[in-house]
Structure 1
Amino acid sequence: MRAFREAVEKRDLDAVEALLAEDVVFSSPVVFKPYTGKAMTAAILREVIEVFEDFRYARELEGGDGRDHALVFTARVGDREIEGCDFLHVGEDGLIDALTVMVRPLSGAQALAAAMGARFDAIARQAQAGQETRSAGRTR
């Protein structure tokens, strides 16, 4: 998905968040259980963009129906080089309803898990604040 790729490359997390469905499911490369919801997914993405250094997309693949996309990337976490892929599924409304991230090698995934684990309290606070903001906007 070109819009997602361009927003990530520009580090425009507001634009990334705008592309997410409210009930998006985010599957992490380092946690078994997926995370559900726009607020949590956006909070995770806001932190991971800070953790990844020298991040760049190398190529983009699209499924035949235009709803499935794979964005292959490289990055670094500390001294660990990472190769990975963002798998996106776009719902009928044009918003991303599923985002699965995979990374290799194992040592890179472990470095990512440690770095993100250290930030999880901040992620949870951001997600809660984002959810409260969206809830307040719906009650107006």
Structure 2
Amino acid sequence: MSSVIEQWHHIVENLDANGLDKLLADDVVFHSPVVHTPQAGKHITKLYLAAAMQTLNAPGHFKYLREVIDGNNAVLEFQTEIDGITINGVDMIQWNDAGQIIDFKVMVRPLKAVNAIHAAMGRMLEAMKPKG
């Protein structure tokens, strides 16, 4: 297994958003299943991934089912549940030779799941906004 993917699993299992600081390249691009345009940069990618970890990692529900790693690319299939809706998706991760993620794409099915993620992520991102 790639050390990048081992680090990613550790971050997800421990809900360690701060671990993303080392793992994400400064110019990483994040492709959300619910946002039309790619999101570029470490700050916004960390924000989305941190919110996703909190949203999708309902106790006892989130798990990776299988993964395929080829060179500096990995596809990790996951399953979770939000509001009684089973969600199936994949994380497509690409990293550079320095071991930092440069591209992270999330794809989700079925449509009910996409809608549930959209609503839950909206709530989580709103809650994460600085109060002021």
Query: Taking structure 2 as the reference length, what is the TM-score of the superposition?
Result: 0.85
User: Structure 2: which 5+ residue stretches go unaligned?
Assistant: none
Q: Is the 8 A contact 1:43 1:124 kept in 2?
A: no
SS at 1:6 equivalent: helix
Aligned to 2:53: 49
Q: How many percent identity over aligned positions?
A: 35
- Over 3 Å counting, the alpha-carbon distance change for 1:22 and 1:122 in structure 2 is farther
Cα distance in 2 between the residues matched to 1:97 and 1:68: 10
Cα distance in 1 between the residues matched to 2:22 and 2:128: 18
2:116 maps to 1:86:
no
Q: What are the equivalent positions in structure 2 for 1:38-117 lying under 5 Å apart?
A: 38-52=42-56, 53=58, 54-63=61-70, 66-117=71-122
C-alpha RMSD of the superposition: 1.8
Q: Is the 8 A contact 2:29 2:103 kept in 1?
A: yes
Structure 1 stretches of at least 4 aligned residues deviating more than 6 Å after TM superposition = none
Aligned to 1:20: 24
| Structure with bigger gyration radius | 1
Residues 52-99 of structure 1, C-alpha deviation per residue, up to 9 Å, x if partnerless? Answer: 121111112111xx2000111111111111011110001122100000
Cα distance in 2 between the residues matched to 1:101 and 1:69: 12
* Offset at residue 16 of structure 1 (A): 3.0
Cα distance in 2 between the residues matched to 1:123 and 1:33: 21
Cα distance in 2 between the residues matched to 1:16 and 1:111: 25
Cα distance in 1 between the residues matched to 2:32 and 2:44: 12
